[in-house]
């Protein structure tokens, strides 16, 4: 790919992925597509930035033509928590936005489209431990419904049109650069911010809630490794399980206490408990390991140390 458009560049993953891709492909060659959220200076200073709303086909086409885009990464999505508050919006952004991206990619004969999926494709009837690659996909959230449909739609474009579409099922993503928004796994980021700011956190899911999680450096590595994998070696396309860590909230709190002994945690579960309970504890990612060499680097304590250090820095500078 020579010119990549990242839609959703101001989001939790998009903001860091865009910068990593600019390091690899050159700043001018990675266009940051933003919609409502103001992009950071890092984003505006290191390469082109354009307003892109995947729901506005004309606007999307004009950016594609302006830069001769030959690859799109579609990071724009309404996540599980916000989706339950506004199912129509989730459907619109996650489905209509996606089909616009796929259509424009087909029409302009792009080299690749990357569309992330999520552990939200699984549901209460899916096996919870080491969830297999091929398994029951009966999610109970609108976000999960759109992600299952998105995987199928991407695979359809591969088969029907020969378009190179790829995707991976992200677990909860933990990072300190840009806050996540509207997801069920957001507690796993908030806990670190509150540990630094207030030495305590009230969690919206209970102590033994256990979900698959991943630290941002591994998320960037997984995404870029999948993008760069040899297409002819892929047996799967849009639905790779990718695992890294799996821990309960209580285990996270213990990990934080190793660095901040006075840290206290309490629990007030809300509607997101039911969502978390419908997702797996851990996933079997052997297909990703075999087909494109996936291997994570971080474990819980290594991530905790890194997160607390980075957030402490922000706190000292008065940024949070």
Active site amino acids: 143
Order of strands across the sheet that contains 4-7: 49-51, 30-34, 4-7, 71-74, 112-114, 165-166
249 and 207 Cβ atoms separated by less than 8 Å:
yes
Query: Among residues 122 and 294, whose Cβ is nearest to ligand SER?
Result: 122
Q: Which of 39, 183, 212, 280 binds ligand SER (CB under 6 A)?
A: 183
Contact 298/217 with Cβ under 8 angstroms? Answer: yes
Contact status: 280 vs ligand SER (CB under 6 A): no
∠ CA 313-318-320, rounded to 5°: 80
Residue 25 or 267 with smaller CB distance to ligand SER: 267
Nearer CB in complex with ligand SER: 40/141: 141
Q: Which of 40, 94, 118, 126 touches ligand SER by CB under 6 A?
A: 118
283 is a site residue for ligand SER (CB under 6 A): no
Query: Do 9 and 73 contact (CB within 8 A), yes or no?
Result: no
Q: How far is CA 146 from CA 35, 46, 85, 123, 158, in A?
A: 20, 33, 15, 13, 18
For residue 299, give every residue at least 6 positions away whose Cβ sits within 8 Å of its Cβ, in sequence order, or none. 245
Min dist CB 118 to ligand SER, Å, is 3
Residue closer to ligand SER, measured from CB, 57 or 153: 153
Binding mask 156-175 vs ligand SER (x if CB under 6 A, - otherwise)? --------------x-x---
Rounded-to-integer distance, Cα 83 and Cα 114, Å: 22
User: Residue 5 CB, nearest distance to ligand SER (Å)?
Assistant: 22
* Footprint of ligand SER (CB under 6 A): 79-80, 118-120, 143, 170, 172, 183-185
């Amino acid at each position: 790919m020579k010119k990549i458009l990242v839609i959703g560049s101001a989001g939790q993953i998009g903001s860091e992925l865009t910068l990593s891709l600019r390091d690899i492909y050159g700043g001018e060659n990675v266009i940051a597509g933003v919609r409502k959220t103001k992009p950071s200076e890092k984003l505006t200073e290191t390469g082109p930035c354009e307003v892109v709303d995947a729901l506005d086909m004309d606007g999307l086409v004009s950016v594609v033509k302006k830069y001769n885009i030959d690859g799109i990464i579609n990071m724009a999505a309404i996540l599980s928590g916000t989706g339950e508050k506004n199912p129509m919006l989730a459907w619109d952004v996650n489905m209509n936005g996606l089909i616009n991206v796929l259509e424009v990619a087909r029409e302009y004969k792009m080299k690749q489209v990357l569309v992330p999926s999520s552990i939200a494709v699984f549901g209460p009837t899916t096996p919870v431990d080491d969830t297999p690659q091929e398994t029951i996909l009966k999610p109970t959230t609108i976000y999960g419904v759109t992600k299952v449909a998105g995987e199928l739609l991407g695979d359809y474009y591969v088969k029907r049109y020969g378009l190179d579409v790829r995707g991976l099922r992200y677990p909860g993503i933990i990072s300190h650069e840009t806050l996540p928004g509207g997801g069920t796994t957001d507690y796993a980021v908030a806990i670190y911010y509150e540990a630094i700011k207030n030495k305590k956190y009230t969690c919206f899911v209970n102590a033994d809630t256990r979900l698959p999680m991943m630290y941002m450096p591994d998320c960037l590595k997984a995404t870029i490794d999948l993008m760069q994998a040899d297409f002819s070696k892929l047996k799967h396309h849009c639905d790779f399980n990718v695992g890294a860590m799996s821990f309960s909230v209580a285990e996270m709190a213990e990990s934080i206490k190793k660095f901040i002994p006075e840290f206290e945690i309490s629990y007030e579960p809300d509607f997101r408990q039911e969502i978390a309970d419908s997702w797996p504890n851990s996933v079997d990612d052997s297909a990703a390991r075999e087909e494109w060499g996936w291997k994570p680097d971080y474990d819980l304590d290594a991530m905790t140390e890194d997160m607390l250090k980075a957030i402490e820095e922000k706190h000292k500078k008065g940024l949070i």
